[in-house]
Amino acid sequence: MASSLQKLLDNNRTWAQNMEVLRPGFFKHLAQQQSPKYLWIGCSDSRVPANEITGLDPGEVFVHRNVANVVVHSDLNALSVIQFAVEQLKVEHIMVVGHYGCSGVMAATRGTRIGLADNWLRHVQDVRFRHRKRLDHLQEHALEDAMCEMNVIEQVGNVAESNVMQDAWMRGQSISVHGWIYGLKDGLLKDLEVSVTASDMVGPVLSRAYKRYPQQTSTE
């Protein structure tokens, strides 16, 4: 155990030394201020590192991650991060970022029990229940991809409808909420076209997004 941890410390020293050689004064400048333009709300999955995916340096993106990139109005942790980013850091863009093949979303979709996190993933199950007419007729792979996308769309709405964002827009702050999804198989980000820049846009933007998933035609 100790040797595996020492490897991380050694890697850190090597990285820090290389950064200072490539960009002299980098850490001195970084320590003086934090002024990111972006807040990334993503999944805790270790395969989805925000800075590396977007090519941004430390200090350029403020990050909040949890299982299945969920934002709910009872989660004071997420809301505190959003409020700090919006009111203190003055970020200009909030990106809710999911990814295909998300284990949390798949567990919620399949009804797989995984433990304590089942309670958290009930929020994702709620997404499927609300949109079951658009989802239940899909084959497994298509269903899981659609659920990963729909979960992002739903969370964009939750962020946009939070009191933090509503207050920010009310006072005229220029800030946008976006929904993206990441492909583990190709390393590419996809814009789900659910950007919200004002309070009155939330309903129309989400409604338009959900129409991309046609409801099953009734045979009755």
- Per-residue pLDDT tens for 173-209? 999 999 999 999 999 999 999 999 999 999 999 999 9
Active-site residue 45, yes or no? yes
Same domain, 21 and 71: no
Instruction: State which residues form the domain around 60.
Output: 33-210
Same domain, 26 and 39: no
Q: Tell me, what's the pLDDT at 218? A: 59
Q: How many domains does the chain have?
A: 2
For residue 63, give the 3-state DSSP assignment. Answer: strand
Q: Tell me, what's the pLDDT at 215? A: 87
Active-site residue 148, yes or no? no
Q: Would you place residue 1 in the very low, low, confident or very high pLDDT band (cuts 50, 70, 90)? A: low
Rounded mean pLDDT, 45-63:
94
Q: Tell me, what's the pLDDT at 15? A: 92
Any residues with CB less than 8 A from the CB of 165 and at least 6 apart, and which? 82, 86, 94, 159, 175, 177, 199
Determine which one of 13, 23, 29, 45 is catalytic: 45
pTM: 0.93
Separation CA 192–CA 149 (nearest Å): 8
Q: Tell me, what's the pLDDT at 34? A: 80
Same domain, 126 and 194: yes
119 located within any domain: yes
On whether the CB atoms of residues 97 and 40 are closer than 8 A, the answer is yes
Q: What residues does 196 pair with on adjacent strands? A: 177
Same domain, 21 and 74: no
169 located within any domain: yes
Active-site residue 99, yes or no? yes
What integer best gives the mean pLDDT of the chain? 94
Q: In one letter, which amino acid is 68? A: A
Q: Tell me, what's the pLDDT at 52? A: 94
Separation CA 48–CA 120 (nearest Å): 20
Choose the weakest-confidence range: 19-33, 49-63, 131-145. Answer: 19-33
Separation CA 59–CA 134 (nearest Å): 40
Q: Would you place residue 216 in the very low, low, confident or very high pLDDT band (cuts 50, 70, 90)? A: confident
Q: Which residue has the tokens 């820090």?
A: 16
Determine which one of 23, 29, 47, 130 is catalytic: 47
Separation CA 61–CA 59 (nearest Å): 6
Q: Tell me, what's the pLDDT at 35? A: 86
Active-site residue 93, yes or no? no
Same domain, 18 and 113: no
Separation CA 74–CA 187 (nearest Å): 32
Determine which one of 99, 131, 134, 178 is catalytic: 99
Same domain, 25 and 132: no
Same domain, 23 and 46: no
Same domain, 50 and 86: yes
pLDDT in tens, 104-120: 999 999 999 999 999 99
**What is each CA distance from 115 to 70, 102, 108, 119, 200, in whole angstroms?**
17, 17, 12, 8, 39
Determine which one of 64, 102, 123, 178 is catalytic: 102
Q: Tell me, what's the pLDDT at 147? A: 97
Among residues 156, 43, 176, the alpha carbon closest in space to that of 100 is found at 43
Same domain, 48 and 3: no
Active-site residue 47, yes or no? yes
Q: Would you place residue 71 in the very low, low, confident or very high pLDDT band (cuts 50, 70, 90)? A: very high
117 located within any domain: yes
218 located within any domain: no
Q: Could you give the percent of the chain with pLDDT greater than 70?
A: 97
Q: In one letter, which amino acid is 137? A: H
Any residues with CB less than 8 A from the CB of 53 and at least 6 apart, and which? 182, 187, 189
With 90 as the cut, is the pLDDT of residue 89 above it? yes
